[in-house]
Structure 1
Amino acid sequence: MADTLTTALIWTLFILVVAPVSAAAWVFVWWCGE
């Protein structure tokens, strides 16, 4: 049970961190590419 909770927490943090970073990087590349 604890292992499942830990995995869910890691995935949540991963998504919360990667999503904005990925979006920012995509916008930066798009902006520079214009």
Structure 2
Amino acid sequence: MKTLREQMDDAMILRDFALRTRESYLAAVGALVK
């Protein structure tokens, strides 16, 4: 089973998000978790 972070990254890849955008979004979500 994938983590939520991996699922979110996979969804963004499918929607053709740029690498930097994906990194930024994942960092922002990670900051919310802490």
TM-score with structure 1 length normalisation?
0.48
Higher relative contact order (CA 8 A, sep 6+): 2
Q: Which has the higher helix share?
A: 1
Q: Between Structure 1 and Structure 2, whose CA radius of gyration is higher?
A: 1
TM-score with structure 2 length normalisation?
0.48
